[in-house]
A = this chain, B = another copy of it.
Amino acid sequence: RSHIAQTRSRGSRLNIIIIAEGAIDRSGKPISSNYVKDLVVQRLGFDTRVTVLGHVQRGGTPSAFDRVLSSKMGMEAVMALLEATPDTPACVVSHSGNQSVRLPLMECVQVTKDVQKAMDEKRFDEAIQLRGRSFENNWNIYKLLAHQKPAQEKSPFSMAILNVGAPAAGMNAAVRSAVRIGICQGHTIYVVNDGFEGLAKGQVRDTLGAAGHWGASISQSFGRLQAYEGVLQLVEARGQYEELCIVMCVIPATISNNVPGTDFSLGSDTAVNAAMESCDRIKQSASGTKRRVFIVETMGGYCGYLSTVTGIAVGADAAYVYEDPFTIHDLKANVEHLTDKMKTDIQRGLVLRNEKCHEHYTTEFLYNLYSSEGKGIFDCRINVLGHLQQGGAPTPFDRNYGTKLGVKAVLWMSEKLQQVYSKGRVFANSGDTACVIGLRKKVVAFSPVTELKKVTDFEHRLPQEQWWLNLRLMLKMLANYQISLTEYISGQMEHVTRRTLSIEKGF
């Protein structure tokens, strides 16, 4: 195809063509990998190799997301059965916007059939729509990035991208997609070294590498709570400095998942998986040892997300977090629970502890308490996961998520710019021109930093409300504590006010 020839002519030395197992052409004929290979070799004369992933895609350790998802859906299925009456129609347990939901079975079957029918009838666009909003969304973004074309004319706008704080997995994907889309739209894109400090010092270059004079109009920052705090300060200083009346967008990227305005920050999925893998190994190390309890310390600042979600993924016996205060009474209960458990077949325990969950009940403290009260029944070991939670290759989720956030952020900024552009000058002074982009339930949302200020606990660097707290009861139930389903449901309800039971076609 000409697309490949083009990229080669621009100097690229490598192309990857991905073909789905069931790929068909417009006439319904299967497209095999060998067919494509022959095509490329014959038409373009490029050296081509085929890899058939096959069952390589099936095996392997399940990701943290898959583990938590299956736990949630299993719980929901049990609840559905318990609540069912003879008249309840059959349902499918599904997941939408971080919540398990029940969908009428018949409706789901019908949708599946409709998709197939549309495919058979070659109504491809319709088939895509029937697959749901999320699928459509992904398809559109793929097309946008894969078939991007250089802008026909230069836009009057410049954008600068700056990274604030430690790196987080998925940021490269976000920067790449943002730069691509930005260029396609004709903007001049600058990158800033060294965050706000670099910006102040003028360490700004355009994407072609030339030192830039960023005299213009748009900032976009990635990063942790610091980025959000920084943008908030800039916005609050707009009254004094007109130069700050530009459009700004924060892409939240931190392993801690503690940025208000989004359910997930970029990089937190990778961190959860890294922590999970480490816990898997730690548990495995005890397979020959009988009766051992591990206390594992995770990162996350005051935010217990990493600890809680990892806890569910690895089946932890407890996960101590700052948001769910505990006293010596709770610690005693946990120790007694483990002592009982050790009398059964399962003779290993795993307890997670968020690094800042308690000023005095340190990891050392827990070790001493567990060692002493478990004496003669189990022994205890400490592991502090440390910085390996921050590094590592991004998970598919974080790569996809980063790509999408990059695209959406630039599209939103372009739109806002048009709105505030007048007489050859950008003047953005309303709150809604400085936002945090994020995923809220099923949709990508833009929340003005000035609004988020009201719902942020700045001292502990936490949003005042966090959706994932409703997972804690599940963690406790799964750890076999004596929690009745009624408690569970009412506990859920505290956090979850609405739960939609319609067919979701989310992000």
Taking the closest CB of chain B, its distance from the CB of A246, in whole angstroms, is 24
CB-CB under 8 A from A13, the residues of chain B are: none
A498 within 8 A of B: no
Q: Are B373 and A288 in contact (CB under 8 A)?
A: no
Write out the residue numbers on chain B whose beta carbons fall within 8 Å of the beta carbon of A335: 328
| A388 and B282 contact, Cβ closer than 8 Å, known pairs A54-B52, A368-B360, A372-B361 | yes
Contact A383 to B386, CB < 8 A, known contacts A274-B281, A284-B391, A287-B167: yes
- Using Cβ atoms and an 8 Å threshold, which residues of chain B touch A50? 52, 54
Which B residues touch A331, using CB under 8 A? 328
Given A52-B51, A386-B384, check contact A372 B281 (CB 8 Å): no
Set of chain B residues within 8 Å of A167, measured between Cβ atoms: 284-285, 287-288
Which chain B residues border A165 with CB–CB below 8 Å?
A: 288
Note all chain B residues with C-beta closer than 8 A to A53: 51, 56
Whether A284 lies near B390 (C-beta < 8 A) is yes
Point out the residue from B327, B328, B382, B386 that lies within 8 Å of A382, measured CB to CB.
Answer: B386
Across the interface, which residues of B come within 8 angstroms of A389, CB to CB?
Answer: 281, 285
Residues on the B chain within 8 Å of A288, using CB: 163, 165-167
Q: List 27 A-B contacts (CB under 8 A).
A: A50-B54, A51-B52, A52-B54, A53-B56, A166-B285, A167-B287, A167-B288, A274-B281, A281-B387, A281-B391, A282-B386, A283-B391, A285-B389, A328-B331, A328-B332, A328-B369, A329-B332, A358-B372, A359-B372, A360-B367, A360-B368, A360-B369, A365-B365, A365-B369, A381-B387, A383-B386, A384-B386
Instruction: Say whether A418 faces chain B, with CB atoms less than 8 Å apart.
Output: no
A33 to chain B, nearest CB (A): 9
Q: Inside 8 A of A54's CB, which chain B residues have their CB?
A: 49-52
Query: Which chain B residues border A294 with CB–CB below 8 Å?
Result: 387
The residues of B that contact A284 with a CB separation of less than 8 Å are 167, 390-392
Closest to A166 in B: B288
Give the Cβ gap from A265 to chain B, nearest Cβ, in Å.
Answer: 15
A126 CB within 8 Å of chain B: no
A287 CA to B286 CA, complexed, in Å: 33
The count of residues in chain A whose C-beta lies closer than 8 Å to any C-beta of chain B is 55
CB distance from A460 to the nearest CB of B (A): 16
CA distance A278 to B392 in the complex (A): 8
Residues from chain B with a CB closer than 8 A to the CB of A457 are none
- Per-residue CB contact flags for chain A residues 106-133 toward chain B (1 = under 8 Å, else 0) read 0000000000000000000000000000
Instruction: Say whether A88 faces chain B, with CB atoms less than 8 Å apart.
Output: no
Asked if A42 CB lies within 8 Å of chain B CBs, one says no
A414 partner residues in chain B, CB cutoff 8 A = none
Report the bound CA distance from A55 to B50 in whole Å: 8
User: Lowest 5 CB-CB distances: which A-B pairs, in order?
Assistant: A281-B391, A51-B54, A284-B391, A285-B390, A383-B386
Q: What is the minimal beta-carbon distance from A198 to any residue of chain B, in angstroms? A: 11
Contact A371 B382 (CB under 8 A): no
Q: Which residues of chain B have C-beta atoms less than 8 A from A371's C-beta? A: 359-360
B381 contacts A383, CB within 8 Å?
no
Contact between chains at B361 and A391 (CB < 8 Å): no
Contact residues of A between 281 and 300, Cβ < 8 Å to B: 281-289, 294
B-chain residues with CB within 8 Å of residue A373 when the two chains form the complex: 327-328
